[in-house]
Amino acid sequence: MEQRADNGWFDRAVFALGKQPQEQRLYDLRFPLHHDATIRRESARNAIDPAWVAAEIRAESTFTPRARSPANAMGLMQVLPATGAGVAKSIGLTGYGGADSLTTACRT
């Protein structure tokens, strides 16, 4: 499990764990908190609970920045490109994606 998380395979680490009592010691792998500084910054900037943002990211992308859904939603919080581009423009960013995707997603 630790190797998967160390390699950035957060989705594999999260879903590889079962619910057996002996695995509870691996709680941090099952419920990770990656991108913590960015989550806290954007949560504070937008008056959103950082725990909610982290939970949303875990549910939508399992902390995989390049995640893409069948509906073409993308990024950590799975925002559709047209929505992301519109929000990005309204807050003065040049586009949606990359490092700015969490900034934009916290505004949607």
3-state secondary structure of 79: strand
Alpha helices in 7-76 (DSSP H): 10-16, 27-30, 36-46, 50-61
CA 57 to chain CA mean position, Å: 3
The reported pLDDT for the residue numbered 35 is 85
pLDDT above 70 coverage of the chain, percent: 69
pLDDT tens profile 42-88: 999 999 999 999 999 989 998 888 889 999 999 899 999 899 889 88
The reported pLDDT for the residue numbered 103 is 79
* pTM for the full predicted model: 0.69
Rounded-to-integer distance, Cα 16 and Cα 85, Å: 34
